[in-house]
Structure 1
Amino acid sequence: MGARRWLVAALALSTCLACAAPAAARQKWNTRVFAHVSDPGYPALSLVAPDRTVYVGTFTNAQGSDTGPSKVFAYRPNGKLRRTYTIKGQTAGAAHGVQVAAIDARGILYLLDQNPSRVLTLNPRTGAQATYATFRDVPPCMTSLKTTDCSDTVMDNPPEPDYTAWGRDRSMYVTDYQQALIWRVPPGGGKPQVWFTDPQIDGSLFGPAGIVLLPDHRTLMFDTSAGGVTTPGDPTTGQLYKLPIKPNGKPGVLRQIWESGPKEGPDGFAVARSGHVYLALVGPQTNQIVELSQTGKELGRFPADTSGDNGSPVPFDEPSSVQFDGSRMIVTNDAFFSGDASHFVVFDVWAGEPGAPVFVPGLKPRVRYRLTVHPSSVGPGTHTFHFHATRNGKALRGAVVRFAGQSSKTDKHGNAAIVANLTHTGRRRARLTRGHRRHPRTLATASVRVH
């Protein structure tokens, strides 16, 4: 992320989701200020935990004068500050910045620190911190005549860990922005190995950035802010790639699916359940989020121009990462070159579609049941009520709907019907249940208003 800022130089909610109006009231791209980020500012990457706590780290500034300790802020889903953590063990006198890049099934956070270049664990309950892995400067393959433990780059740059994704085997894949490679940290931490490097992702100082393990759990998607400097094409454009993880754990064949415009600086991104990719463009005076199809077709940009005007009191000022929280996106506003402290914010941007689950080894996916009813508002009398039940968005078969003293089991499409005579005005509750007949477990509810 620090070099990304030099890329920019070189190349040129009021409410929470739970308390917000119903989703239908928000239009796609509707933007709100989720939270202001305190000193030292410069938020670069956020992480949304399973309990919907939003963690944000502070990063380096353009002057490199941020030699104080970095901080991590924890926000409640409504944007209220819950806790602040001060990072320990950073290199004295160096520019400092951390990114909250991953979380494990125990709730431990994994931070990517710049000085020293390492993965740092943070226990958000106790505040305890420990080094998980340390990155090293590897030589360019070309000048060192090496074929392993090297970077396929022109320049010999120091490491800069940027983003990370878990693998199925609990290994950690970490992009190195300046060394143009992807590290693999073994399960449980330890010495990272150079897992993938290629001249195509060598952007000189501005290489691989965001990385996500796709829902098939066999393919990594990552982007570059620029490159490659020695391969055909415009070296100032960034790309989005897919890279398979082969059964033997080695990388497969790199495949480009999208290319940005010159100097746009693709950075952090998130994947929706539909497969759409929402990607932040941190490049100079770009100030946009781009939406792509799963095949890389560009579907739209927000805002339509590069003004940064998003309809909220704070404009986009180098947005640098995107994370899903339900159907909203948490977007960090880095404001690296403006240095405008009033722009150090995290946004709540409405996507209008849910994000795909982020893979965390050992974490059981949250089960969400839903029950809907039609009609949901009637006058007194006898009516047929049609119910639909889902589990994680898919039709739920074999559950029991209980309403007005009657019950009906859902069919393979998740549907059930009950005929009921309602004589009193007010709200009547229907329950979606499973379990013992005498003590059923309520999975979800729906209400009918009798007026």
Structure 2
Amino acid sequence: MKRPLSSLLTGLTGLATGLLTVGLLSAPAPVAAAAAAPPKWTTTVFASVPAPGYPAYVFKHRNSRVYAGTYVNSSSRKASKVFEWTAGGTLQRSWALPRQLRDGSHGVQVANQTHDGKLVLLETSRSAVITLDIRTGRFRTIARLPGGGVPNYATWGPGGALYVTDYGDGVIWKVSRRGGVTEWFRSTDLDGVEFGTTGIVYRPQKRDFLISQQTSQTAGLPTDGHLFRLGTREGGRAGVLSTLWTSQPGELPDGFGIGRSGHIYIAMAGLTAQLVELSASGRELDRFPDTPFTGENGSRIPFDTPCSATFSGTTVLVANQSAVQGDPSHQAILAVEVGERGRAPYLPKGAGFR
């Protein structure tokens, strides 16, 4: 979810603040036996996110560390930060974003990594694609989206380029290894009503992209969201956009992860505050929690604007943004057991910038 936080109030009635603590039971096992996996949908708190809070996406690096950026509402002049945790959820380091424009809402997303391990950041106040060298702490601006675009999610794709969704416009931007930005794909289907295009994942085996969209101006109710499939043609050109799945009104589908089974786990950042499991063909298989709107997931922190589902082992890491309530105690990363491992994001050898 990448918008000024005040705009999230439009069209939303707020999320419930139910809080339930459940003790997790584990069956006794022989000392030498491996611990049994917890039941599917078991939710625990991976880590709290310090101020300025409002995490919107969790990125699992190939170094096994976990990273997330923060968003700041328009009343704050604090710089956005990038945080690093161990695989077990222990906070290690943080970096404050330099040269941000802080006279309005501003934020940073840890969207991906380069092949040599740098973080790829999307910074909203300057519409910038930035790298962060986690060994030296050096930030480098690679590109800026034209026309005040709102960079949201990013994936490596055909030709070793970076493909970036724009939350404020119906465009997929292509960023070359030299930092050149071109409009790679545009569609009215990606024009949202206040809430726009979110997650994007390239599937090299199928030579296509999966793209999530929070609202729509072209089909069904304007508050319906979608998961789209966008094929590619020879030479890396965009193909035909088709709908795999349509959400319920006001659910605001956000970031998602893909399991080894092909199942897609997508976070609903809107009113229902759930995770939805889809088959590879887009058929809805399950929802968690069973009861929508409350966010009660069995952990000490309820879902409160859950914005992503990033695989780490057999769990998905969910960024709990608390965009509407603005509750710092809810701004955390939650770990939800899904019972399968995920597919690693596409990272070609040439992934990086010259």
The alignment's TM-score, normalised by the length of structure 1, stands at: 0.71
| Aligned match for 1:347, one of 330, 334, 346 | 334
* CA deviation profile, 1:240-265 (whole Å, cap 9, x unmatched): 01101211221101110100000100
1:329 aligns with 2:316: yes
1:125 aligns with 2:135: yes
Aligned partners of 1:331 and 1:346 also within 8 Å: yes
| Aligned match for 1:249, one of 233, 236, 244 | 236
Aligned partners of 1:55 and 1:74 also within 8 Å: yes
One-letter amino acid matched to 1:181: V
| Aligned match for 2:282, one of 271, 274, 296 | 296
Call closer, same or farther: CA 1:98–1:168 in 2, change over 3 Å: same
Show the counterpart of 1:237. 224
One-letter amino acid matched to 2:118: I
Aligned partners of 2:193 and 2:223 also within 8 Å: no
1:173 aligns with 2:163: yes
Separation in structure 2 between the aligned mates of residue 344 and residue 322 of structure 1, nearest angstrom: 15
Aligned partners of 2:79 and 2:102 also within 8 Å: no
CA shift for structure 1 position 361: 1.4
| Aligned match for 1:221, one of 183, 199, 210 | 210
CA shift for structure 1 position 301: 0.6
| Aligned match for 2:91, one of 50, 63, 81 | 81
Call closer, same or farther: CA 1:4–1:165 in 2, change over 3 Å: farther
* 1:169 counterpart SS class: helix
CA shift for structure 1 position 92: 4.1
Separation in structure 2 between the aligned mates of residue 353 and residue 22 of structure 1, nearest angstrom: 17
One-letter amino acid matched to 2:162: M
The alignment's TM-score, normalised by the length of structure 2, stands at: 0.90
One-letter amino acid matched to 2:117: G
Count of matched residue pairs? 331
| Aligned match for 1:47, one of 42, 59, 74 | 59
One-letter amino acid matched to 1:186: S
Show the counterpart of 2:45. 33
Separation in structure 2 between the aligned mates of residue 361 and residue 323 of structure 1, nearest angstrom: 19
Alignment gaps of 5+ in structure 2: 13-22, 24-32
Show the counterpart of 1:152. none
Separation in structure 2 between the aligned mates of residue 60 and residue 209 of structure 1, nearest angstrom: 18
Show the counterpart of 2:10. 10
Separation in structure 2 between the aligned mates of residue 181 and residue 108 of structure 1, nearest angstrom: 25
Call closer, same or farther: CA 1:86–1:22 in 2, change over 3 Å: farther
Separation in structure 1 between the aligned mates of residue 328 and residue 246 of structure 2, nearest angstrom: 32
CA shift for structure 1 position 239: 0.4
**Structure number having the greater strand percentage:** 1
Show the counterpart of 1:104. 114
CA shift for structure 1 position 198: 1.0
Show the counterpart of 1:188. 178
* CA deviation profile, 1:72-120 (whole Å, cap 9, x unmatched): 0000011001111111111142322000001011000010001111101
CA RMSD, aligned part only? 1.8
Separation in structure 2 between the aligned mates of residue 90 and residue 359 of structure 1, nearest angstrom: 29
Higher relative contact order (CA 8 A, sep 6+): 2
Call closer, same or farther: CA 1:117–1:106 in 2, change over 3 Å: same
Between structure 1 and structure 2, the one with the greater Rg is 1
CA shift for structure 1 position 22: 4.9
Separation in structure 1 between the aligned mates of residue 346 and residue 39 of structure 2, nearest angstrom: 28
CA shift for structure 1 position 331: 0.8
* 1:248 counterpart SS class: helix
Separation in structure 1 between the aligned mates of residue 341 and residue 54 of structure 2, nearest angstrom: 27
Show the counterpart of 1:271. 258
Show the counterpart of 2:15. none
Separation in structure 1 between the aligned mates of residue 253 and residue 146 of structure 2, nearest angstrom: 25
